[in-house]
Structure 1
Amino acid sequence: MAKKFLLLFITIVMVSCGSDDDSTDLDCSLVLCAAVDDTIYLQFLHPDNDEDLLKNGTINVDLIEIINEDSNEVTFTVEEFSEMGVYLAIPVSTTSFGRKSFTITLDEDESFNINFETSLPEGNDCCGAYTTLESFTIDNYSYDLVEPSPLPVLTTVYIPNLD
């Protein structure tokens, strides 16, 4: 009798695990996905001593202005990550992909540009679409190299002298 139940169990398992070649739908009910965070996080440090310029108030957050490639002002936030420091969090628009830029003005005399390219990777997975950062450059200041990767991206910008 035990052999019959074992045979029945194996048959049920094999039938339920069989593939349905006609179905193209993915069953994503058991997949846990990370929330999409299309943000560039910038930390501003002094290159000589790695002092956090947002945390110590050298950069006044109230004076910062960010303009995108369409000449629109970008609303940003300031976020502190324990043990990592304070970051300027700049959302990246995903209404279109391709070449993008931000002009970041820190005060009346200090500004720089970030140029980057975004894309939407091909493929249909359970977690949806994550924006990929294809290239990334900053003029006027040195910064940590940013490799092509999905957003979010955290990078450090080294600013030597702000008066």
Structure 2
Amino acid sequence: MLDRCDSLQTQWQKLWQISEQQRQQVKRCLAYLITPGIFERIHRERSKDGRDRDTARCCAYPWEWKQPNLVGVATDKPVPISCRIQDKDGTGKSIPAPQVFAAPPGSVYYLEHPQPLYADDPDAKPGKALARAQRMRQLGYSELLWLPYQPIETPEGETP
């Protein structure tokens, strides 16, 4: 069970405000994942019998962040969240499906500029995928803190 720690509310609010200010900037940044990140993309595939089949694939980073904006990712092994149940060949019989995997908290993403997640994007196309992504966000998955990027200077004074 998780309990809210009211004594930390003021500190958390300050940290969140700083993160939101950074997210509004249009310059290099780091996104730090503070809760498990579920970054799924539905792929439509044609099965051997000619039927279209939707398959969800999990990534270690948000699929909507593409190069050149997404410069780098630092993460660890995926965290299994839950299994899915799927209909077997449209017959109404359920079978276990692959698990949902999440990027672990502590993952860091280096971006040229902040970019919203699919669930938070006001321009995202409405539909089942968006509703699922928004539900996962409401459950607390994929919460990011935005940090300024600070280049490291070499001893010679050059930036790598």
TM-score (ref. length: structure 1): 0.28
TM-score (ref. length: structure 2): 0.28
Give the structure with the higher percent helix.
2
Where relative contact order (Cα < 8 A, 6+ residues apart) is larger, the structure is 2
